Amino acid sequence: MLATTRSPRSSLEREVFNFRSGEELGIPPYARVAARVMLTDGTVDLTLAMQLDPRRSNHLKKQFSVDGRAVRASDAVGRLKAVLFSPEDVGLIAGAPAARRRYLDVMLSQLYRDYLRTLSRFNKLLTQRNSLLRTLARDGVAHSGATSSGQLAFWDEELTAFGSALISHRYRAIRRLSALANDRFARLTAGHTLRIDYVPNLNLTALEGRGPESGHDETTAIVAREFTSSLAARRREELRRGLSLVGPQRDNLTFSLDGVDLALYGSRGQQRLAVLALKLAEASLMSEEANEPPVVMLDDVLSELDEHHRECLIETVSAECSQFLVTSADETLLTTPSLAVLPFLRLGDGAGDMSD
């Protein structure tokens, strides 16, 4: 929550804190989380406070502060960088594309200060443009007429500018993330190749063959040209359906193992190892791009792995520079010899307690 300002457990933030908190003080339910983060260039104090608004049901007041100074949510994201693996993340591979887009957005918002602001602006533009398209569709406006062109011109230009910036960030990040994930997957299991492909809503063949030296601005310019032509080509269909059909809101990621689609043909064990490799790759990417290793949280990661893969995972984790938090409902899994190289704190002292 301190890294992203949102709970990874629930989309309803009302569920984050105790229903009866605040009763003794006679105030609405509240919650607060704070940390002192030790970075490579110093320390920073982060605080997130939330309180239920008694005037509006299920509405929260949220306040973020950095070193005691109140800031906007967009300015708090990424001060602490964090990577989380939980058992539910296995669904990233076989689940709906929206979950993979959200994964990308959470990762890139922590990495690039401008990404979250660009995403927020794009989503607002998309809502407004969709509203206009529905109005034009209802009124039967011709796709090739001056009315549709005139009213959509501004929204097309803005959507292209912000959407192309998002796609550029995603395209460049996934190219590197795929290579890092394949390397981590090779450490977890021998003799297989993991590949992650970014599947944009645009034809980006013009970017193929370009090396990593191609900058964000150059990539964005190429994407923008394709974005503009795609909008023009699909104008008729958009007006017929009253919906924007071009842009990063329709992007996807695919995972393949030795050229075979993991979503369709991969076992749960293979999918789990692939997501683990993805998360470890994400941690490495953050270290590379931000020169700051993230906190990596592996929640109940060992329970569904056999002994061999547990050993491989722990050895891989040990080679990274990040701080790792490993939890398990089975304390015996945390006594494996390889885990002894990682300092850890055990929380709780009774059966059923989680252990760190």
- Give burial (CB, 10 Å; 0-12/13-18/19+) of 262: buried
CA 90 to centroid of chain Cα atoms: 14
Q: Are 43 and 122 in contact (CB under 8 A)?
A: no
CA 247 to centroid of chain Cα atoms: 18
Instruction: Give the integer Cα–Cα distance in Å for 169 and 162.
Output: 11
Within 10 Å of residue 152's Cβ, how many Cβ atoms? 21
The CATH number corresponding to 91-278 among 1.10.1520.10, 1.20.1050.90, 3.40.50.720, 3.90.1150.10 equals: 1.20.1050.90
Instruction: Give the integer Cα–Cα distance in Å for 97 and 90.
Output: 13
- Give burial (CB, 10 Å; 0-12/13-18/19+) of 16: middle
> What is the predicted pLDDT for the residue at 107?
95
Within 10 Å of residue 32's Cβ, how many Cβ atoms? 12
> What is the predicted pLDDT for the residue at 162?
97
> What is the predicted pLDDT for the residue at 254?
96
> What is the predicted pLDDT for the residue at 304?
79
Written in H, E and C, the secondary structure of the chain is CCCCCCCCCCCCHHHCCCCCCCCCCCCCCEEEEEEEEEECCEEEEEEEEEEECCCCCCCEEEEEEECCEEECHHHHCCCCCEEEECHHHHHHHHCCHHHHHHHHHHHHHHHCHHHHHHHHHHHHHHHHHHHHHHHHHHCCCCCCCHHHHHHHHHHHHHHHHHHHHHHHHHHHHHHHHHHHHHHHHHHHCCCCCEEEEEECCCCCHHHCCCCCCCCHHHHHHHHHHHHHHHHHHCHHHHHHHCCCCCCHHHCEEEEEECCEEHHHHCCHHHHHHHHHHHHHHHHHHHHHHHCCCCEEEEECCCCCCCHHHHHHHHHHHHCCCCEEEEEECCHHHHHCHHHHHCCCCCCCCCCCCCEC
CA 263 to centroid of chain Cα atoms: 19
> What is the predicted pLDDT for the residue at 342?
56
> What is the predicted pLDDT for the residue at 340?
60
> Per DSSP, what are the bridge partners of residue 290?
none
Report the relative pairing of strands 69-71 and 42-52 from DSSP bridges: unpaired
Find all residues with CB under 8 Å of 179, minimum gap 6, and list them: none
Structure tokens at 57: 């049901």
Structure tokens at 187: 């450490």
Cα angle for residues 270, 274, 276 (degrees, 5° grid): 120
Closest Cα partner for 280 from 303, 258, 312, 304? 312
Find all residues with CB under 8 Å of 23, minimum gap 6, and list them: none
Q: Are 66 and 78 in contact (CB under 8 A)?
A: no
> What is the predicted pLDDT for the residue at 327?
85
pLDDT per residue, tens digit, the chain (356 aa), is 999 988 888 777 777 878 788 888 888 888 899 999 999 889 999 999 998 887 776 678 889 999 999 999 889 998 999 999 998 899 999 999 999 999 999 999 999 989 999 999 999 999 999 999 999 888 877 766 676 778 899 999 999 999 999 999 999 999 999 999 999 999 888 879 999 999 999 988 888 877 655 688 899 999 999 999 999 999 999 998 999 999 999 999 999 999 999 999 999 889 999 999 999 999 999 999 988 889 999 898 887 788 888 878 877 777 777 788 888 888 877 776 656 655 555 554 444 443 33
Q: Where are the domains of the chain?
A: 1-76, 91-278
